[in-house]
Structure 1
Amino acid sequence: MNLRQPLTKTRQFRTLLQSEQLEFICEAHNGLSAKIVEEAGFAGIWASGLSISAQFGVRDNNEASWTQVLEDLEFMSDATKVPILLDGDTGYGNFNNMQRLIRKLEQRNIAAVCIEDKLFPKTNSFLKGDAQPMADMQEFCGKIKAGKDAQTDPDFCIIARVEAFICGWGLTEALRRAEAYHQAGADGILIHSALSVPDEILAFKREWGSRSPVVIVPTKYYSTPTDVFRQHGFSMVIWANHMLRAAVATMQKTARALKESENLLSIEDKVAPVSEIFRLQNAAELLEAEERYLPRGAEGTLAVVLAASRGEELGELTADQPKTMVKVQGGPILSHIVDAYNAVGIKDILVVRGYKKEAVRLPNLTYVDNAEFAENGELASLSLALQSRKEHFQSTIISYGDVLFNKYIPQALCQESDDCVIFVDSNWQDQTSYARLGGFAECTLPNSRRAFNAKVHLKQLGSAIPPGSIHGVWMGFLKLSPNAAAMVDQLLLEILARPGNRKASIPQLLQELLKRDYPIRVLYTVGHWLDINSLDDVIQAGNF
Structure 2
Amino acid sequence: MKKVYLNVSTDILHYGHIALMKKAAELGELIVGVLTDEVVAQYRRAPLVPYEKRKEMIAQLSFVKEVVKQDTLSYETVIQQYRPDIVVHGDEWRIGGKSRIRADLLKLLDVYGGELVEFPYTEDEAINVLESTVYDRYAVPEIRRGMLKRLLGLKKSLRVLEAHNGLTGLVVENAKITTEDGMQKTFDAMWISSLCDSAARGKPDIELVDWSSKIDRINEIMEVTTKPIIVDGDTGGMPEHFVYNIQTLERIGVSAIIIEDKTGLKKNSLFGTEANQVQEEPEIFADKIRRGKQALKTKEFMIFARIESLILEKGMEDALHRARVYLQAGADGIMIHSRKKTPDEVFEFCHKLKAEYPETPIVAVPTTYNTVTEDVLSDNGVNIIIHANHLLRSAFPAMQKTAECILLDGCSGKRADQNCMPIKDVIRFIPVEMENQ
Scaled by the length of structure 1, what TM-score is found? 0.50
Q: Residue type of the partner of 2:254?
A: I
Q: Which residue of 2 aligns with 1:282?
A: 431
Alignment of 1:255 onto 2:403 = yes
The 5-angstrom pairing of residues 224-243 of structure 1 reads 224-243=372-391
Relative to 1, partners in 2 of residues 1:129 and 1:27: Cα closer, same or farther, differing over 3 Å?
Answer: farther
CA contact (8 A) 1:45 1:83 kept: yes
User: Shift in Å at residue 279 of structure 1?
Assistant: 3.3
User: Shift in Å at residue 95 of structure 1?
Assistant: 1.6
Task: Measure, in 2, the Cα distance between the counterparts of 1:149 and 1:273.
Answer: 50
Relative to 1, partners in 2 of residues 1:160 and 1:84: Cα closer, same or farther, differing over 3 Å?
Answer: same
User: Shift in Å at residue 102 of structure 1?
Assistant: 0.8
User: Shift in Å at residue 286 of structure 1?
Assistant: 5.3
Alignment match of 2:164 (pick from 11, 16, 29): 29
Task: Measure, in 1, the Cα distance between the counterparts of 2:281 and 2:202.
Answer: 31
The 5-angstrom pairing of residues 14-163 of structure 1 reads 14-40=149-175, 41-91=186-236, 93-129=237-273, 131-163=276-308
The superposition leaves residues 246-269 of structure 1 with CA deviations (integer Å, 9 ceiling, x where unpaired) of 000110111111111122222224
Q: Which residue of 2 aligns with 1:185?
A: 330
Alignment of 1:223 onto 2:371 = yes
User: Shift in Å at residue 195 of structure 1?
Assistant: 0.6
Q: Which residue of 1 aligns with 2:19?
A: none
CA contact (8 A) 1:10 1:157 kept: no
CA contact (8 A) 2:320 2:349 kept: yes
Q: Residue type of the partner of 2:240?
A: N
The 5-angstrom pairing of residues 111-510 of structure 1 reads 111-129=255-273, 131-209=276-354, 210-265=358-413, 266-285=415-434, 287=436
Q: Using the aligned pairs only, state the percent identity.
A: 34
The superposition leaves residues 402-442 of structure 1 with CA deviations (integer Å, 9 ceiling, x where unpaired) of xxxxxxxxxxxxxxxxxxxxxxxxxxxxxxxxxxxxxxxxx
Q: Residue type of the partner of 2:167?
A: L
- Whichever of the two has the greater Rg, that structure is 1
SS in structure 2 at match of 1:223? coil
CA contact (8 A) 1:87 1:115 kept: yes
Task: Measure, in 1, the Cα distance between the counterparts of 2:425 and 2:264.
Answer: 40
Q: Which residue of 2 aligns with 1:9?
A: 144
Comparing 126-135 with 41-50, greater Cα deviation is found at 126-135
User: Shift in Å at residue 226 of structure 1?
Assistant: 3.1
Q: Residue type of the partner of 2:419?
A: K
Task: Measure, in 2, the Cα distance between the counterparts of 1:174 and 1:249.
Answer: 36
User: Shift in Å at residue 17 of structure 1?
Assistant: 3.1
CA contact (8 A) 2:374 2:385 kept: no
What's the Cα RMSD here? 1.9
Q: Residue type of the partner of 2:192?
A: A
SS in structure 2 at match of 1:79? coil
User: Shift in Å at residue 16 of structure 1?
Assistant: 2.8
The superposition leaves residues 62-88 of structure 1 with CA deviations (integer Å, 9 ceiling, x where unpaired) of 121122111111101112100110011
SS in structure 2 at match of 1:221? coil
CA contact (8 A) 2:347 2:381 kept: no
Scaled by the length of structure 2, what TM-score is found? 0.62
Structure 1: runs of 5 or more not aligned: 291-544
Relative to 1, partners in 2 of residues 1:18 and 1:95: Cα closer, same or farther, differing over 3 Å?
Answer: farther
CA contact (8 A) 2:427 2:435 kept: no
Task: Measure, in 2, the Cα distance between the counterparts of 1:106 and 1:226.
Answer: 29
Q: Residue type of the partner of 2:251?
A: Q
Relative to 1, partners in 2 of residues 1:224 and 1:43: Cα closer, same or farther, differing over 3 Å?
Answer: closer
Task: Measure, in 1, the Cα distance between the counterparts of 2:328 and 2:348.
Answer: 21
CA contact (8 A) 1:29 1:47 kept: yes
User: Whose helix fraction is larger, Structure 1's or Structure 2's?
Assistant: 2
Q: Residue type of the partner of 2:376?
A: V
Task: Measure, in 2, the Cα distance between the counterparts of 1:285 and 1:244.
Answer: 23
CA contact (8 A) 1:32 1:280 kept: no
CA contact (8 A) 1:49 1:60 kept: yes
Relative to 1, partners in 2 of residues 1:42 and 1:196: Cα closer, same or farther, differing over 3 Å?
Answer: same
CA contact (8 A) 2:340 2:369 kept: yes
Relative to 1, partners in 2 of residues 1:128 and 1:193: Cα closer, same or farther, differing over 3 Å?
Answer: closer
CA contact (8 A) 2:264 2:278 kept: no
User: Shift in Å at residue 235 of structure 1?
Assistant: 0.6
Task: Measure, in 2, the Cα distance between the counterparts of 1:253 and 1:119.
Answer: 38
